Amino acid sequence: MISDFLDLGLSNEILNAVAELGFEKPTPVQATIIPRLLVEDGDIVCLAQTGTGKTAAFGLPALEYLDVKNPATQVLVLSPTRELCRQIAQDLTGFAKYIQGIRIVSVYGGAGIQGQIKDLEKGAHVIVATPGRLLDLIKRGAADISGIKTLILDEADEMLNMGFKDELDAILEQAPGGRRSLLFSATLPDEVERIAKSYMKDPEIVTVGQRNAGSENVEHFYYMVREEDRYAAMKRIADYNPDIYAIVFCKTREQTQKVADALQRDGYDADALHGDLSQAQRDNVMGRFKRKALHMLVATDVAARGIDVNDLTHVINYNLPQEIELYTHRSGRTGRADKKGVSIAIINQREKGKIRRIEAVIKKQFTKLPVPGAREICERQLAHLIDEINNVEVRDDIYAFMPTINEMWGDMSKDDLVRKVLSYEFNRFFDYYRKAKDLNIPEKEKKGRKDKDGMKDRQDAGEKGKTKKGKDGNPGECEKGFVWMRINLGYKNKVIPRDIVSIMKACGIGKQSVGKIEIFEEYLYVALKSSVAEYAKSQIHGAIYGRRKLSAILLQKK
């Protein structure tokens, strides 16, 4: 696989723009698709997950082929939502930064059509459109697709899910025969196959990554609580993660609004995004979320569809979706562009089966986590606050006030001062959590069924499993042909051997490559087959587990 943009065959104009965007190496989709589009003919159906860099995969070659001197529309990108259209147009404009005179226009429903007509009148080498609005513009004679050379159907499965079948058919029937068609989709349902068969010329199907699988970089966790504690659990998750930047998925518009309102009332930077809002309201919410003025965006699946935010810390399933497919889409919002992602589900006792079904489809395991308690949350918040204080910039301006500060605080001991400053910020949390109950469901309530994942078991398992408790020390001998890897997770992080096996599995290391495990207070040692040890280390070192950054070192064999 080509691992350098310079080797893909792109022109300098494009390479410079790409470099400025900070793209260091092509993603697998880009490395696979771009050279084909540049040197081969033929239509392509590309199956790839969200967040894999598809826009540049089709966008860069399409821009290469474009003739700026020809005013006709040469590239047409169809996409399911307004947000996505704007995102794609914005990305393409970035890629085309050094292509003089190029015009990229996006048109979509839910916004005034007159302005879009005016935009098109000025010329559009590239149109990025939702199917409904484009058809409307074609009928009005404002858009002309008779000269297009490249037609891109982005997120084709989603366009069909959103009911654009007839519009797509109508547009595809009018598109000129000499074009090249590319279809991108995360899945290949019958309806997408039908489109490919009817309107594409013998397309080659290229699958990048595992089809239907959860994004590789995403870890999946769930918290099990009583139905009435769902919201309280959500709050605990937010409090336990002071740097949270998340999309919270709800089932319905009403619930989305309710949860967002409640979070706001409780003092969080949260807001709702759903179809009942006006476009102006949606733009406002999205703008604030992208600027990080909002830390939690509570959204329905459809509304969240076009959101392209790379550095989400979490995707939270306030409710699990009805369709498992949607879970894949949701969790694909995090762990993008090579970053690690965390997808969390809050479930009640009856929804465990759903977790198992999702696991079967995404081929990854969920880890059950205990809902953080008062003490853990307060500790995390305190550490965060101290961190922020440590990192604050001390400006010269403060020196002018030192006499006053000394006068008022001069007699106070350092300890007293620290306690007072932290309490000032922190009493609110203490007050709230003083009364906080344990949201975890006690064993006996689980209808007598033994739930091995329970928190109590989790602790017991430490004693029963092949682990060694106690202060940190050195591990014993590991199996022949294996080496020890030390990871900065220990008994105090409540890890049990099964978690380690899941972590390894998530990194692509199968059970047979994992040997003995010894867990100490602060660290654990896991024996790995020598042949995979280096790879495992590269995968695990720097990965995020829960909210902990892992560090891994391999112990030399004596």
List contacts with ligand ADP (CB under 6 A): 23-24, 26-27, 30, 50-56, 308, 310, 336-337
Q: Which is nearer to ligand ADP, 179 or 336 (CB)?
A: 336
In whole angstroms, the minimum distance from the beta carbon of 205 to ligand ADP comes to 17
Q: Does 54 bind Mg ion (CB under 5 A)?
A: yes
Question: What DSSP string runs through 466-481?
Answer: S---SSS-------TT
End-to-end CA distance of the chain: 38
Q: Please, are residues 346 and 317 in contact by the beta-carbon 8 Å criterion?
A: yes
* Smallest distance from ligand ADP to CB 319, Å: 24
Q: Distance (Å, rounded) from C-alpha 442 to C-alpha 290?
A: 40
Strands 246-249 and 296-299: parallel
- In angstroms, the CA 227 to CA 113 distance is 45
In DSSP terms, 343 is beta-bridged to: 220, 315
d(CA 61, CA 45): 15
Look at residue 220 and give the partner it binds from Mg ion, ligand ADP, none, a contact being a CB closer than 5 to 8 Å depending on partner kind: none
52 binds, among Mg ion, ligand ADP, none (CB under 5 to 8 A by kind): ligand ADP
* Cβ neighbours of residue 205 closer than 8 Å, sequence gap 6 or more: 44, 45, 46, 47, 188
| Coil, helix or strand at residue 399 | helix
- Binding partner of residue 337 among Mg ion, ligand ADP, none, CB cut-off 5 to 8 Å per kind: ligand ADP
Q: If residue 129 lies in a helix (H) or strand (E), which one and from where to where?
A: strand 126-129
The least CB distance from residue 383 to ligand ADP, in Å, is 31
Question: Which CB, 52 or 367, lies closer to Mg ion?
Answer: 52
Nearest to 33 by CA among 14, 12, 52: 52
In the complex, minimum distance from the CB of residue 505 to ligand ADP, in angstroms, rounded to a whole number: 25
User: Which helix H or strand E contains 185, and what residues bound it?
Assistant: strand 180-185
Which tokens in the block code for residue 453?
Answer: 């994942």
Q: Which stretch binds Mg ion (CB under 5 A): 26-34, 49-57, 116-124, 194-202?
A: 49-57
CB of 347 to ligand ADP, least distance (A): 27
Residue 143 CB, nearest distance to ligand ADP (Å)?
A: 23
Q: Quick one: which segment of 8-16, 46-54, 371-379, 466-474 binds Mg ion (CB under 5 A)?
A: 46-54
Q: Which stretch binds Mg ion (CB under 5 A): 50-58, 165-173, 393-401, 422-430?
A: 50-58
333 binds Mg ion (CB under 5 A): no
Closest CB 59 distance from Mg ion, rounded Å: 10
**How many Cβ atoms sit within 10 Å of the Cβ of residue 295?**
20
Q: 54 vs 282, which CB is nearer to Mg ion?
A: 54
274 binds Mg ion (CB under 5 A): no
The binding site for Mg ion (CB under 5 A) comprises: 54
